[in-house]
Structure 1
């Protein structure tokens, strides 16, 4: 089978298309015939070494989010059958790319996967797991602050995958959402239900105070300037400590796989109550070019690699 592996740490040029042995499903596992795999900034960070791999060295395969069909099942596996359509998230934070999603066939624990509802195509399904779960779990940290109904939340990076889901889920949760849009992308962000769209160039200190900030970019101190005293800021990557004088609580949201939550989020996308956006699709064999496009920025939606 074909796969894409990073043969060293570096830029897109370290990604090579290669022939790999076909995997076999062990107990409690299936092998997924991948039809779509999402390209995330985290994949780029893995190849450059920004996401550490401990003592392990390349080669390894990037790729968190996959959608496809069950090609084989391991001994004693009853959750899925051959031919079932599935979507899932490889917990790359534990696999460290062995396996990763950039391959025609991927061995997967059944706990990584959920059934893919009829009517939801592989490509949009592959954009859901990492981004939507991060958004939902980050907003759970906001809700722990016991904000009253109707409280205002600022979402930075609302044009992106995590920020777009966070905007929609915050609206569903009854918050008043101020959503920061990239230049030229205001209409898309408005369509997600945001009560107010904030320009990317705006001084965020002038748009608050808000009770909480979901900092999806993240901006760190610049985003915290919008939050009220004793408010909360949730970031999706580590940022510098916020000046503590105002009692602002700082939280870090790192993804954790939650199969029940993932099934619910995929179901909402299938039903149309959550929206996702695909900028373009590219063949798996063009993964290096896909990474170059992510690094260049300016994408309105996610890049998805397709197989077959």
Structure 2
């Protein structure tokens, strides 16, 4: 089978299309014939060494989110059958690319996967697991602050994957959502239902004060400046420049795989209760070019690699 491996740490040029042994499903596993795999900034961070791999060194496979069909089932595995449509998240924080999603076939534990409802295509499904779970779990940290219904939440990066889901899920939670949109993305964010859309050019300290910020970019201190005293800022990666003041605290959201939550989020996307978007699809073999486009920025949606 073909896979795309990071042969070394570095930029997109380290990604190489390679012939790999086809995996076999072990106990409690299936092999997924991958039809779509989402390209995340986390994949770029992995290949550049920003996500540490401990003592391990390349080669490894990037890729968290996959959608496809069950190709084979391991001994004693009853959750899925050959031919079932599935979507799932490889917990890359534990696999470190063995396996990763940039391959034609991926061995996967059954608790990484959920059924893919009829009517939801592989490409759209592949954009859901990492982003939507991160958004939901980050909002749970906001909820721990015991905010009353109707409290205002500012979402930065609302036109991105995590921020877009955070905007929609915060609305479902009964919050008043102020959403910061990227360039030329105001209409998309309006369509998500945000109460107020804030252009990226607006200085965040002039916004609010709000009870909480879901800082999906993240922008750090600028976001904290929009929070009321003793408010909370949820960030999706560490912001070393954060300086605690006025009782404002920062909570770091690190993704954890939750199969029940993932199944619910996928069903919501399939039913149209949550929206996602795809900027472009590219063949798996063009993964290096996909990484270049992610690094260049300016995408309106996710890039998804497809396998015929």
Normalization by structure 1: what TM-score?
Answer: 0.99
Cα distance per residue 1:22-50 (max 9 Å; x no partner): 00000000000000000000000000000
Count of aligned pairs: 308
- CA distance in 2 between partners of 1:46 and 1:243 (Å): 27
SS at match of 1:159: coil
Residue deviations 1:167-197, cap 9 Å, x none? 0000010000000001211000010010000
Displacement, 1:241? 5.6
Partner of 2:258: 258
Q: Which digits, 9 at most, give the CA deviation of each residue in 1:71-102, with x for residues without a partner?
A: 00000000000000000000000000000000
1:238 alignment partner in structure 2: 238
In 1, distance between residues paired with 2:12 and 2:122? Answer: 25
Distance 2:149 2:45 in 1: 37
Deviation at 1:244, TM superposition (A): 2.6
Deviations 1:220-252 (A, max 9, x none): 001101000000000000012633330012100
Cα distance, 1:136 vs. partner?
A: 0.1
Whether contact under 8 Å (1:167, 1:177) holds in the other structure is yes
Tell me, yes or no, if the aligned pair for 1:151 and 1:176 is still in contact at 8 Å: yes
The question of whether the paired residues in 2 share the 8 Å contact of 1:123 and 1:306 is answered with yes
Please give the secondary structure, in 2, of the residue aligned with 1:286: helix
User: Counterpart in 2 of 1:142?
Assistant: 142
Alignment of 1:40-59 (within 5 A): 40-59=40-59
Q: After the TM superposition, which parts of structure 1 deviate over 4 Å for at least 4 consecutive aligned residues? A: none
Asked whether 1:112 is paired with 2:148, we answer no
CA RMSD in angstroms, aligned pairs only: 0.6
Are 1:79 and 2:90 matched, yes or no?
no
What SS is found at the alignment partner of 2:178? strand
Give secondary structure in 2 for the equivalent of 1:304: strand
Name the residue aligned to 2:222: 222
Unpaired runs of 5+ residues, structure 2, are: none
**Equivalents in 1 of 2:282, 2:266: separation in Å?**
22
Counterpart in 1 of 2:210?
210
CA distance in 2, matches of 1:78, 1:240: 46
What's the TM-score once normalised by structure 2's chain length?
Answer: 0.99
1:1-308 aligned within 5 A: 1-240=1-240, 242-308=242-308
Unmatched runs of 5 consecutive residues or more in structure 1: none
